[in-house]
Structure 1
Amino acid sequence: MKLRLLDAADSRRCAELEEVLFPGDNPWPEHAFLSEIAAPHTLYLGVSEGDSLWAYAGMARLGPEGDPEFEIHTIGVDPSHQRQGLARMLMDELMAVADAHAGRVFLEVRTDNDPAIALYEAYGFARQGIRRNYYQPSGADAYTMLRNARSSRR
């Protein structure tokens, strides 16, 4: 398995995985991935083997240069490859980027997604609040989570 940057050619596969992973919550379409992958302030990564993309994650860098913040937009792993460490591979790289810039990291996660919550808590994220009816059309609630800035430069 190889960790790599995503490109426009990966957008269709990411959208296919979104349909499988988030069917009741307005999964991202291909054009959303195309836009996000191309944006200069985002980092989109994937884990692949040969021509097969098995996992993806995206994060945006926000705020001023001297005090950046990061927001995880999405992370997903093909159900046939879950529990094999792919999400951790992606999170390791995303957190290394945030740490290199000493930036805080924010995200939202469904309140009933226990595996994802456990993953984020293992990386130092803490629950900050709840966004009621955040996911549509299901109406599921989301926790807002924050990981305080860390620095590999200090």
Structure 2
Amino acid sequence: MNIDDLAWVEGQERVLHPFPWTMGNFSDALEAGYIARIICVDGRNVGYAVMLTVLDEAHLLNISIVRECHGQGLGRTFLDALCDEIRKRGVAQMFLEVRPSNEAAKRLYTAYGFVPIGRRKRYYPAADGEREDAIVMRLGL
């Protein structure tokens, strides 16, 4: 992912998430040197991800697949590529947060080997000014 991709990424983010990251969030991540990747199929962008690495840990901050490609295994394929990349950098474990209401993501992460290790109370914004917890998950690499 580079600065030229941000309009597409932000547009997809607004379609995919009720509380999307802003272009500024993605731009800041690029500027800070986070790992930011786009997955393409047949020359077409179909997803994006942002990860922060510190020492031997990675934090998957955002991974998204365009809606018309859901259910095709691209999330798992993308996770494979991301994990391969960070293993080569000496990363030993990856963390992420997921909404309890995001059943598809929870199924993917659990099937991939992520294990719930905690909960962040009222972490995510939710409808009507409410907040939703986050399930913290860990994957040993």
**Which of the five TM-score ranges fits, normalised by the shorter chain?**
0.7 to 0.9
Which residue number corresponds to residue 117 of structure 1? 106
| Richer in helix (by share) | 2
What percent identity do the matched residue pairs reach?
Answer: 29
- Deviation string, structure 1 residues 22-60 (Cα, Å, up to 9, x no partner): 11x3x11112112212332x2111123567422111111
Of 84, 92, 107 in structure 2, the residue corresponding to residue 103 of structure 1 is 92
TM-score, with length taken from structure 2: 0.87
SS for the counterpart of 2:98 is strand
The alpha-carbon distance between structure 1 residues 51 and 95, as it changes in their structure 2 partners (threshold 3 A), is: closer
AA matched with 1:144:
V
Q: Secondary structure at 2:82's aligned position in 1?
A: helix
Cα distance between partner residues in 2 of 1:145 and 1:70? 12
State the match for 2:24 in structure 1. Answer: 31
CA distance in structure 1 between the aligned counterparts of 2:100 and 2:93, rounded to whole angstroms? 21
Could you say what secondary structure the match of 2:71 adopts?
A: coil
C-alpha distance after superposition, 1:86-110 (max 9, x if no partner): 2122101111123231421110000
Structure 2 unaligned blocks of 5 or more: none
Q: Higher RCO, 1 or 2 (CA under 8 Å, sep at least 6)?
A: 1
Amino acid at match of 2:53: R
Q: Which runs of 5+ in 1 are unaligned?
A: 1-5
Q: In 2, Cα distance between the equivalents of 1:11 and 1:141?
A: 28
Letter of the 1:122 partner, please give it: A
Instruction: Report the aligned-residue RMSD.
Output: 1.7
Q: Deviations over 1:57-92 (max 9, x none)?
A: 1111113xxxx1100010111111111222122101
User: Distance between the aligned counterparts of 1:102 and 1:15, measured in 2?
Assistant: 28
Query: In 2, Cα distance between the equivalents of 1:125 and 1:105?
Result: 9
After TM superposition, the score normalised by the length of structure 1 is 0.80
Q: Does 1:12 align with 2:1?
A: no
- Which residue of the partner structure matches residue 77 of structure 2? 89
Query: 1:97-145, CA deviations, whole angstroms, 9 ceiling, x for partnerless residues?
Result: 2323142111000011111111111221100111121111441211000
Q: How many residues matched?
A: 137
Runs of 4+ in 1 over 6 A off after TM superposition: none
Q: Provide the C-alpha distance between the structure 2 equivalents of 1:135 and 1:18, rounded to a whole number of angstroms.
A: 16
Q: Is the 8 A contact 1:131 1:144 kept in 2?
A: yes
For 1:49 and 1:102, the matched residues in 2 are separated by 27
